[in-house]
């Protein structure tokens, strides 16, 4: 059976609210893949790249606080389920670990507002990485017993789990394979298409909608052309773009793509035999029903 | 060693385009540029590409290898040749093709000129019998941006520019930051206004392709974030992008978690929100529009609020907040980190079955 890995779990803003289905699926999946989640509560938004842009000193401290509370659980790993959280926490972590003077300053500030200092280092890892290698990978094979029966799944990585690679560093940013391997381990067929590693446009979907939709249409259109039944992404912000904003592409392209978009935890959850009460597909804008019927049919 | 390449040839005057394969004998130390020189010298004199210094400082030889912009003179070919992979060489993206690997750089230079890439000094008088003294630390604020050699690799891969060709782009914006952060410059706020337009900093999609591709370590995305921070600090925050960013700050210090439902009206304003009502309904129908009351408050959020107040007193606002982390991140870039991967190292080009 192997030992269970206890990780500090930082769910981030979206999994807490509009993407509750991601948290629900992750919490249900965790025990089946040997993960014990210690959910962090005294935390805030990681900054989402926005606080990094508006008040970078504040965003560094917010992330240091999250890291500090993660370290306080005694876990070595802080696990995320969002690309943006992963980049922001890892970037802050490298800054603090690599610069003792900076860490000392930040810790002085943390202590003076009642937060424990960040002393013992933690490693920030996305659920995707936990399951794509090592013990997690071994567990995944066993957990995905129901399988996806050859369903064609288009992997959409999302920028901030790959780039900048010196901060993320899990795999080659131009030739990643973690999603493909997980799809195949779950019994699906990974579908390739040119925009697999490009941007969904989410960061500018409000401020520059037209530009964002010009990006968003690419992975959706190409995945459909490549024969995908559904798409999977490890980032809930990409998920929002791909799923909730998919209908906006009708106005620009005249096409109703109807491509179901799954969170990573949900895809594995389906292969592991989890049900609607845990996976909460009803919360998706583009209905996932058709692809589930295909699986059961 | 034997090196094989496929090169996209094109001729803008005839409109022709074809993929040509070449295989040449090259020394072990050869770069992509050396291989192109061998092809042109001995095999096909019609091949067109730009080059000059061959030592990563002139910025002439930017081109795509397997869809990713590189400097030809920086790209060693030994491990690629050894793996048996045949890379596809094509011209840089987001710029019109003139011939083969030569692109028209005029749109690039036009955006460069648009940010006024020269000091506009305030001509303040230095102290009597002295000169203006600027600390190394102060100049470090623009160290990375100063490394730019105008090669175009960042522009080639910019996802925002591909969707919106008028986007100023990573190179021009990094250059703008180079001058915004220069203490000798007297036009900071005018510069910030210039980059806060429709196609300025708030159109950056944060794909990080520019940071990834830059052969000199400029990190244009970070320069854009610095411009954002400095703009907001100086009160230049009318853009939806600025309002969006500020709402995250407000959320973090009041509820900890993002106040999602109010994000739309706070970013786009009431009028636009009403226009989006039908779209919002499609989200609300599946439960993706959480009611703003009661607010979703994180535990111990007073710590976050106190942090915000404390940092405000410490006055490390604007781009200085980003610069403080650069020394540590430079260590990463220079290889002082375990597990950093060589994208062309062993195992990167798995051979197909039976090959």
Identify the residue among A40, A57, A239 best suited for mutation to test binding to B, counting B beta carbons within 10 A and taking the highest.
A57
d(CA A44, CA A110): 14
Nearest residue on chain B to A248, judged by CA atoms?
Answer: B279
Same domain, yes or no: B162 and B311: yes
Tell me the shortest Cα–Cα distance from B64 to chain A, in angstroms: 13
The answer, for B328 touching chain A at a CB cutoff of 8 Å, is yes
| CATH code, domain carrying B203 | 1.10.1060.10
The CATH number of whichever domain residue B32 belongs to comes to 3.10.20.30
Is A201 an interface residue toward B (CB < 8 Å)? Answer: yes
Give the Cβ contact number of residue A227 at 10 Å: 11
Strand A5-10 relative to strand A35-39, pairing: parallel
Per the DSSP assignment, residues forming a β-bridge with A9 are A39, A79
Residues B169 and B54 in one domain: no
> Is there a single domain that holds both residue B55 and residue B143?
no
> Which residues form the domain of B250?
105-119+137-259+295-327
Structure tokens at A87: 């980049």
Q: pLDDT means per 10 residues in chain A (297 residues)?
A: 87 94 98 97 97 97 98 97 98 94 97 97 97 94 91 98 95 96 96 98 96 98 98 98 96 94 98 96 96 86
CA gap B226, A175 in Å, rounded: 30
For residue B312, is it within any domain? yes
Supply the pLDDT for residue B133: 85
Count of domains forming chain B: 2
Task: Give chain B positions within 8 Å (CB) of A92.
Answer: 325
B114 and B84, same domain (yes or no): no
Q: Under a CB-based contact definition with an 8 Å cutoff, are residues B199 and A204 in contact? A: no
Alpha carbon distances (Å) from A151 to A221, A227, A270, A291 = 18, 10, 11, 8
Whether chain B has a CB inside 8 Å of the CB on A242: the answer is no
In a domain, B319, yes or no: yes
The minimum CA-CA distance between A51 and chain B, rounded to whole Å, is: 6
Q: Given CB atoms, is A250 within the 8 Å cutoff of chain B? A: no
- Distance, in Å, from the CA atom of B140 to the CA atom of B144, rounded to the nearest integer, reads 8
Walking along chain B (355 residues) 10 residues at a time, the average pLDDT comes out as 97 90 97 98 97 97 98 97 96 97 98 96 80 86 96 98 98 98 93 98 98 96 98 97 96 93 85 86 88 86 96 93 91 60 54 51
Structure tokens given for B226: 């610095």
Distance CA B333, CA B337 (A): 8
CATH of domain A146-296: 3.40.50.11810
The C-alpha R_g of chain B, in whole angstroms, comes to 24
Evaluate if pTM is beyond 0.80.
Answer: yes
| Distance, CA of B180 to CA of B230 (rounded, Å) | 9
Residue B211 touches partner A, C-beta closer than 8 Å: yes
Which class is domain A5-126? mainly alpha
End-to-end CA distance of chain A: 33
Q: Is A39 strand, coil or helix?
A: strand
Beta strands in B26-105 (DSSP E): 62-65, 68-71, 88-90, 97-99, 102-103
* Phi–psi pair at A5, nearest 5 degrees: -100, 120
* Domain parsing of chain A, residue ranges: 5-126, 146-296
- Residue for token pair 């703009």: B231
Q: Are residues B69 and B110 in the same domain?
A: no
């Amino acid at each position: 059976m192997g030992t269970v890995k206890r990780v500090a779990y930082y769910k981030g803003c979206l999994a807490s609210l509009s993407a509750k289905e991601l948290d629900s699926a992750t919490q249900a999946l965790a025990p089946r893949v040997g993960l014990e989640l210690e959910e962090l509560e005294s935390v805030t938004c990681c900054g989402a790249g926005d606080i990094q842009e508006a008040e970078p000193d504040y965003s560094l401290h917010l992330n240091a606080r999250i890291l500090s509370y993660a370290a306080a659980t005694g876990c070595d790993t802080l696990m995320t389920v969002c690309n943006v959280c992963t980049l922001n926490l890892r970037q802050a972590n490298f800054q603090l670990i690599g610069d003792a003077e900076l860490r000392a300053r930040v810790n002085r500030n943390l202590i003076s507002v009642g937060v424990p200092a960040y002393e013992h280092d933690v490693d920030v890892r996305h659920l995707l990485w936990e399951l794509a290698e090592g013990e997690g990978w071994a567990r995944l094979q066993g957990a995905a017993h129901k399988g996806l029966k050859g369903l064609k799944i288009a992997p959409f990585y999302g920028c901030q789990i790959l780039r900048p690679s010196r901060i993320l560093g899990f795999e080659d940013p131009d030739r990643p394979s973690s999603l493909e391997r997980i799809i195949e381990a779950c019994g699906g067929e990974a579908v390739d298409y040119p925009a697999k590693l490009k941007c969904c446009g989410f960061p500018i979907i409000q401020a520059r909608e037209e530009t964002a939709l010009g990006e968003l249409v690419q992975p959706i259109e190409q995945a459909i052309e490549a024969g995908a039944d559904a798409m999977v992404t490890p980032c809930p912000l990409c998920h929002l773009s791909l799923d909730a904003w998919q209908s906006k592409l009708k106005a620009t392209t005249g096409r109703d793509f109807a491509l179901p978009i799954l969170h990573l935890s949900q895809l594995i959850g389906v292969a592991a035999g989890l049900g609607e009460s845990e996976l909460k597909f009803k919360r998706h804008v583009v209905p996932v029903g058709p692809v589930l019927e295909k699986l059961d049919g | 060693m034997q090196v094989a390449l496929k090169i996209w040839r094109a001729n803008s005057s005839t409109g022709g385009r074809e993929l040509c394969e070449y295989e040449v004998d090259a020394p072990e130390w050869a770069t992509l540029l050396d291989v192109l020189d061998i092809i042109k010298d001995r095999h096909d004199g019609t091949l067109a590409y730009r080059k000059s210094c061959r030592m990563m400082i002139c910025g002439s030889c930017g081109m795509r290898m397997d869809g990713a912009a590189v400097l030809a003179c920086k790209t060693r070919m030994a491990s690629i040749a050894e793996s048996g992979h045949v890379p596809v060489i094509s011209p840089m993206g987001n710029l019109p093709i003139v011939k083969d690997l030569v692109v028209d750089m005029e749109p690039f230079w036009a955006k460069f000129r648009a940010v006024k890439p020269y000091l506009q000094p305030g001509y303040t008088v230095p102290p009597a019998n002295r000169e203006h003294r600027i600390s190394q630390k102060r100049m470090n604020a623009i160290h990375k941006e100063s490394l730019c050699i105008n090669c175009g690799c960042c522009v080639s891969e910019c996802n925002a520019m591909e969707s919106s060709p008028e986007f100023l782009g990573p190179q021009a914006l990094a250059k703008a930051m180079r001058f915004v952060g220069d203490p000798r410059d007297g036009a900071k706020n005018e510069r910030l206004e210039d980059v806060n337009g429709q196609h300025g900093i708030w159109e950056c999609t944060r794909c990080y392709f520019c940071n990834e591709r830059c052969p000199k370590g400029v990190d244009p995305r970070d320069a854009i974030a610095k411009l954002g921070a400095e703009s907001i600090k100086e009160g230049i925050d009318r853009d939806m992008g600025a309002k969006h960013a500020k709402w995250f700050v407000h959320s973090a210090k009041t509820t900890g978690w993002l106040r999602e439902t109010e994000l739309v009206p706070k970013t786009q304003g009431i009028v636009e929100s009403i226009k989006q009502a039908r779209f919002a309904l499609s989200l609300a129908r599946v439960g993706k529009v959480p009611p703003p009351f009661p607010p979703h408050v994180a535990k111990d959020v007073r710590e976050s609020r106190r942090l915000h107040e404390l940092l405000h007193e410490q006055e490390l606002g604007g781009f200085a907040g980003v610069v403080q982390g650069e020394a540590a991140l430079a260590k990463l870039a220079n290889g002082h980190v375990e597990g950093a991967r060589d994208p062309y190292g062993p195992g990167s080009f798995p051979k197909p079955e039976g090959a």
